[in-house]
Amino acid sequence: MTTYKLAVAGGGSTYTPGIIRSLMDRLEDLPLSEIRFYDIDGERQSKVVVAAKAVIAEYTDTIQVVETTDPKTAFEDVDFVFAQMRVGKYAMRELDEKIPLSHNVVGQETCGPGGLAYGLRTIFPMVELVDYVDQYAKKNAWIVNYSNPASIVAEGVRKLRPNARILNICDMPVATMRNMAAILGVNREDLVVDYFGLNHFGWFTKVEVNGVDRLSELREHVYQHGLLTEDVSKIDYRHADSSWIKTFKNIKLIMDHFPEYLPNPYLQYYLFPDYIVETSNKEYTRANEVMDGREKTLFETVRKYEETGILEDAFAVGVHGTFIVDVTISLAQNLGRRYLVMLENNGTIPNLPADAMIEVPALITSNGPIPEYVGEIPYFYKAMIDQQLASEKILVEAITEGSYIKALQAFTLNKTIPSAKVAKAVLDDLIEANKEYWPTLAQEYKEGVLV
C-alpha cells in the first residue's frame, strides 16, 4: 500500500487540529506514514501540536509525528504540503481591520485595504515556502494552499514562481454550498454547481441536484432569509459566529439588487461598502471575535488536556478541514473529481485576461487541475472582475518592485475605497503599521518618493 508524507506549513494555526481530524477520518483514502508540523513560531506550534497529537492518537499509533521550525526537516522527501500561513498573526489582522475602519473604509481580513495589506505581507513568505518545497520535497510534491488572501497569493506565486506545483483553494465557496445544501435538504456532495470569478469575488450561475437546477428555489429562499436555514446549528463551527451569520444574511441584500446569480458572500464588501462600515463595530472586529473565541478555546483546551489527559474539545471537522483533504485525495489518487479551485485562465473565460488567476470548477488530477470551459461572461461581471484583477495585479507589482506609487494605485482601484485621497490616507497608516514587513514601501513613503 502506498503511504504518503505530509507537511503542515503553519502548524500553529488554530485550524490545524480540525484538519488533522479530517485526515484521520480519511486514512483509508490517504494513508499517511508521517505528518510534519512546521511553523516559524515554534512556541505557539508546540501548543497546537499537543492537540493534533491527541487527535491522531484516537485513530492510530503508526504515524510518525514531527514538529519543527527547520525547513529541511519539515519538507525533505514529503509528498504534500498544506500551506496555511498567517504572516503577522492575529495582531496584524486586527490592524488590517481597524486601520481602514478608522477612515470609514471596509475593515476585513481578505477584502479591501486589509486584504491588500495582508497580501503584501504574505507574497514573499509564500514564495519562500515554494522554494523550500522545491529544494527539499519530492519532485512531484504538491502544495495545497489555503493561505489568504488567496487570490493575491495565487497571483504572486504565478508571477514569481510560474512552475510551482501549487493548488490554490478556498473554503468559502464550499461553505456557501454547505448552506445551499442545508436549505435544499440535501447533502453538499449532491450539489453540482457552476461558478466563475476571482477568489472571494465570484458568482454561482447554476446549482443542480440530480440534474435539476434549483437556483431559482434558492433565490426565493434568499429573498426571505438570506443564505441561512432557520436552524443555524446546521452551520459548522467555523462559520457559526455572529459575524458569519450577518455575512450570510447579507446575501439577501446583494440579490435584492442583482438577482441573476447567487453571489460569493464576500461581494458584500465591494457592492455595499458604505453599509458594511455603518454596521461595523470599529472597536471590536472579526479579529477580536476569533481571538476571544476559536483561539482562546483551543489553547484553553490544550491546557486542560495537559493537566487531565482528557481532550474536551473534539475539534469537529468542518468544511475547512474536509475540503483540503478532499482535493488532496483527488491529487494523490488521480481521481479527477470536480471542485472549485483557483487556476490561470488561459481561455477558460475568453473575455478575461489569459493570465488572470480565476476561480472555476476543475477536475483535480495528479497532474493538477483541468478547468471546465466557462465561456464569455456578461459585461457587468467582467467589468467588476477587471477592476478587482487590476488592483490585485498592481499590488503584486508594488511589493515585487518596492513601489509606493503602485501600492497607491492598487488601493485606489479597489472598489471598497471611495477616492484616491482616502486610499492614500489608509495606505500610509498601514505602511506605518507594517514597517518591518514592507521595508522598501516604508522607505519610499518616508522619502516622499512617488515615481
The residues spanned by each domain of the chain are: 4-170
Tens of pLDDT, residues 4-24: 999 999 999 999 999 999 999
What pLDDT does residue 176 have? 95
pLDDT attached to residue 1: 81
Q: Pairing mode, if any, of strands 212-213 and 337-344?
A: unpaired
Instruction: Specify whether domain 4-170 bears CATH 3.40.50.880.
Output: no
Average pLDDT, the chain: 94
What is the pLDDT averaged over residues 341-360?
Answer: 98
pLDDT tens for 59-85 read 999 999 999 999 999 999 999 999 999
394 compared with 236, residue with greater pLDDT: 394
Mean pLDDT of 304-322: 83
DSSP single-letter state for residue 367 = T
Q: In the prediction, which pLDDT does 243 show?
A: 87
Active-site residue list? 171, 266
> Distance between CA atoms of 295 and 289, rounded to whole angstroms?
9
State the pLDDT confidence band at 237, using cuts at 50, 70 and 90.
very low
> Which positions ≥6 away from 77 have C-beta within 8 Å?
5, 136, 137, 138
Structure confidence by residue, pLDDT tens digits, 78-101: 999 999 999 999 999 999 999 999
Residue 272: helix, strand or coil by DSSP?
coil
Alpha helix positions (H), 250-315: 251-257, 268-271, 273-278, 286-290, 296-308
Query: What stretch of H or E contains 113?
Result: helix 112-136
Among 249-253, 290-294, 420-424, 447-451, the range scoring the smallest mean pLDDT is: 447-451
pLDDT at 234: 58
Express each pLDDT in 135-158 by its tens digit: 999 999 999 999 999 999 999 999
Q: How far apart are alpha carbons 244 and 266 in whole angstroms?
A: 11
**Residue 369 backbone class (left: φ over 0; alpha: ψ -120 to 50; beta: rest):** beta
Residues in the chain: 451
Distance between CA atoms of residues 249 and 259, nearest Å: 15
Which pLDDT tens digit goes with each residue over 387-421?
999 999 999 999 999 999 999 999 999 999 999 99
Q: Are 320 and 18 in contact (CB under 8 A)?
A: yes
Question: Alpha carbon 443 to chain centroid distance?
Answer: 30
The lowest-confidence range among 6-10, 206-210, 412-416, 443-447 is: 443-447
Cell output for 441: 514601501
pLDDT at 317: 75
Residue 161 has pLDDT above 50, yes or no: yes
- Cα 284 to Cα 38: distance, rounded to the nearest angstrom: 31
What amino acid is encoded at 219 in this protein?
R
pLDDT the model gives residue 193:
98
Q: Is the pLDDT of residue 231 over 90?
A: no
- What pLDDT does residue 451 have? 43
Residue type, 427: L
Q: What pLDDT is stored for residue 449 in this prediction?
A: 55
Burial pattern 203-222, b for ≥16 Cβ within 10 A else e, equals bbbebebeeeebbeebeebb
Lowest mean pLDDT among 97-111, 313-327, 379-393: 313-327
pTM for the structure as a whole: 0.95
pLDDT score of 315: 67
